[in-house]
Chains A and B, each alone.
Chain A
């Protein structure tokens, strides 16, 4: 611990500005870089354009979920229902197509997005209106959706997803650029824009201190509800990608909520809200996917794989949290001009 008293905190030096720009996500960028280097060493062909794009396509659903989950976590809540929304979305799409075989894929996507947003709205209203902790609300929603899917399909989904619907998760727009990468980029840009807007700042303020935000005129309930709605819609969009990538499955989204939360936390976003950047959260999603790919390429098999994942993730998050606070505390004095 340094004995220097932090001088004027209003004038941060350059490293602090960079740190602020990265939103405290520095460790995750380091991790991502390390993983990408490791991938290059393991498999020199990894950086061929089409393979790199295929990697991004594979990461895309998790990136969307991480962006949605970030919005909810940064305002101090959880959304555990996203995995179930993905599963329900894939199954509902298949059922829609078996009812209306000629449906246009845009209509089906719109229905899914609307339904996802609706689930998010219900999550948000129950959490803010009734004061039920979001952990419980979304846990309940997850069970309701999973049970509903099971009841509806008898565990064996009917119908197929036609090729035009699956194109978003599976095919290229033009010249080898997968749809999923485009969707991912658009959502990422949208999320960054959103967090730079007034809404983004009120969202973080709400997570930082609900009372302070409310006293300064933020409608916390509305802000949080919107975050849930966006998370639900992002999950529905992820369902379109997942369904497109791998087809109908009644377990399409199982475990994705944990991966999304892991990605967000890997990105240095503080559980409980108020701190962290959406870009870092999405970088967390890429890191997680890169980690899975690396483990797979290294031939880490079966049960051991999850063990390795768990250990690496805990280590990364622990390291990330420690670095973050130190960086924050020291940077003004270290980076500033000598007093």
Chain B
């Protein structure tokens, strides 16, 4: 099978959950204008982090808390309520294959896109990727490539990497729409800016959007896990259950102003407000373990101990755990994500922990959806994937000592032929 892959990688080394414009945010006592100028040239900005679903969450409809401002901007009550209710529902679809499951699906017909029989075994699939600028997206990209490799009818798979730039992705989508793609998968870098480009492509080729959404319903389907509110709430509810009332909670966040991360935090903030826990500190770590370790160490000292740690993503969770160990304190209940290093630390040290996920198995689904659409089978209009949370009970089934520390366990890739080598195992 022939595969053209036009994957260019960014020169910027900001692979762990990178943040918008990195180095000024990092502790850069900026003295040298020239040096900083150089820095801003070097460190290309990239929006980042596992971007969440919630298509264009409408701004602030009914923020529940009084401190308005930023929180309200990133909080939508309706979306919040829906996500929380979805976490309790069981999905439809094949057992044990969550990437094919769906929650409250509204199926739509796709006969209009069905390929004639002669072409059905010679599919050209195209993918406009926002970028591979963090480990989450790298694990996802590998997973998608392996999914494609499983389908012989896909004879050509073209990937163009936008390197985290909206303008590049706009031209990427235009370029791909002009090629002879049978279907176009888009993982938008940002929601609003990419909408016109996706709308334009919709008229020429069936489009499937996943991960982050766009402000139009022209794509055949939009695939995403439940979302950021559910993530943040799951982690916060765990701490509310595990930490005694009056306990001191440290919240570690990557950076302010990134919608997906704000969603996670606003849901957690709400849960903490309703509880008897006290959030003593909300700190930003830039996703840097050294910063995180210092921040946690300082917090332990300043407050004479911390009773629970909430994190908006897992990149620095091991550093946080070590900070407690180095301070000679017992590690309190802590939430992370499904990175291997955290899961292994949790298992080895027998911690009280929880790992909400933003599953990387969602990268398999667009390929499956594309094949269904091209076969004229019905798909859900909005394909809501389950969003599992790793708990103490099923932890051991996700720990893989042979996988890289930043491998995301919820990849749904264990049954694929390339596992584990393709993922670095």
Cβ contacts under 8 Å, A101 to chain B: none
Binding-face segment, A106-114, A197-205, A224-232, A294-302: A294-302
User: In terms of DSSP, what is the predominant structure of the interface of chain A?
Assistant: helix
Cβ contacts under 8 Å, A327 to chain B: none
Given contacts A54-B297, A151-B9, A249-B290, contact A254 B23 (CB under 8 A): yes
Could you tell me if B301 and A254 are in contact, using CB atoms closer than 8 angstroms? no
Given contacts A147-B11, A255-B23, contact A306 B28 (CB under 8 A): yes
Residues of chain A from 24 to 53 with CB closer than 8 A to chain B in the complex: 43, 45, 51
Q: How far is the CB of A239 from chain B (nearest CB, A)?
A: 12
Interface residues contributed by chain A, number (CB under 8 Å): 64
Q: How far is the CB of A308 from chain B (nearest CB, A)?
A: 10
Cβ contacts under 8 Å, B292 to chain A: 246
Could you tell me if A155 and B135 are in contact, using CB atoms closer than 8 angstroms? yes
Alpha-carbon distance A170/B326, docked complex (angstroms): 8
Query: Would you call B294 an interface residue if the criterion is a C-beta within 8 Å of the partner chain's C-beta atoms?
Result: yes
Could you tell me if A255 and B256 are in contact, using CB atoms closer than 8 angstroms? no
Query: Would you call B357 an interface residue if the criterion is a C-beta within 8 Å of the partner chain's C-beta atoms?
Result: no
Query: Would you call B55 an interface residue if the criterion is a C-beta within 8 Å of the partner chain's C-beta atoms?
Result: no
Could you tell me if A156 and B25 are in contact, using CB atoms closer than 8 angstroms? no
Given contacts A155-B13, A262-B30, A301-B283, contact A246 B319 (CB under 8 A): yes
Given contacts A143-B42, A296-B295, contact A251 B25 (CB under 8 A): no
Query: Would you call B39 an interface residue if the criterion is a C-beta within 8 Å of the partner chain's C-beta atoms?
Result: yes
Alpha-carbon distance A41/B288, docked complex (angstroms): 29
Cβ contacts under 8 Å, B175 to chain A: none
Alpha-carbon distance A265/B36, docked complex (angstroms): 14
Could you tell me if B133 and A158 are in contact, using CB atoms closer than 8 angstroms? no
Binding-face segment, B60-68, B177-185, B222-230, B404-412: B404-412
Q: How far is the CB of B111 from chain A (nearest CB, A)?
A: 40
Q: How far is the CB of A31 from chain B (nearest CB, A)?
A: 12
Could you tell me if A157 and B405 are in contact, using CB atoms closer than 8 angstroms? yes
Binary per-residue interface labels of chain B (25-50) against chain A in the complex, 1 for a CB within 8 Å, 0 otherwise: 11111111011101100110000000
Q: Which listed residue, B13, B23, B38, touches A149 by the CB 8 Å rule?
A: B13
Binding-face segment, A13-21, A182-190, A215-223, A309-317: A309-317
Could you tell me if B318 and A251 are in contact, using CB atoms closer than 8 angstroms? no
Given contacts A54-B297, A170-B326, contact A156 B15 (CB under 8 A): yes
Residue of A nearest to B9 (CB): A150
Cβ contacts under 8 Å, B30 to chain A: 258, 262, 309-310, 313-314
Could you tell me if B15 and A246 are in contact, using CB atoms closer than 8 angstroms? no
Q: How far is the CB of B393 from chain A (nearest CB, A)?
A: 26
Cβ contacts under 8 Å, B26 to chain A: 254-255, 306
Residues of chain B from 295 to 322 with CB closer than 8 A to chain A in the complex: 295, 297-298, 301-302, 318-319, 322
Cβ contacts under 8 Å, A58 to chain B: 294, 297
Residue of B nearest to A292 (CB): B27
Could you tell me if B23 and A246 are in contact, using CB atoms closer than 8 angstroms? no
Query: Would you call B416 an interface residue if the criterion is a C-beta within 8 Å of the partner chain's C-beta atoms?
Result: no
Could you tell me if B28 and A246 are in contact, using CB atoms closer than 8 angstroms? no
Residues of chain B from 48 to 107 with CB closer than 8 A to chain A in the complex: none
A residues apposed to B, CB below 8 Å: 43, 45, 51, 54, 58, 78, 80, 84, 87, 135, 139, 142-143, 146-147, 149-151, 153-160, 170, 242, 245-252, 254-255, 258-259, 261-263, 265-266, 271, 288, 291-293, 296-297, 299, 301-303, 305-306, 309-310, 312-314, 317
A-B contacts besides A258-B32, A258-B35, A302-B284, 15 pairs, CB < 8 Å? A135-B38, A146-B13, A149-B13, A150-B10, A150-B13, A158-B404, A160-B341, A246-B290, A251-B18, A254-B288, A258-B23, A259-B28, A262-B28, A265-B32, A288-B27
16 CB-based A-B contacts, threshold 8 Å: A51-B301, A142-B42, A150-B15, A156-B15, A156-B404, A156-B406, A246-B293, A246-B322, A249-B289, A252-B288, A254-B13, A258-B29, A258-B30, A291-B29, A297-B302, A303-B25
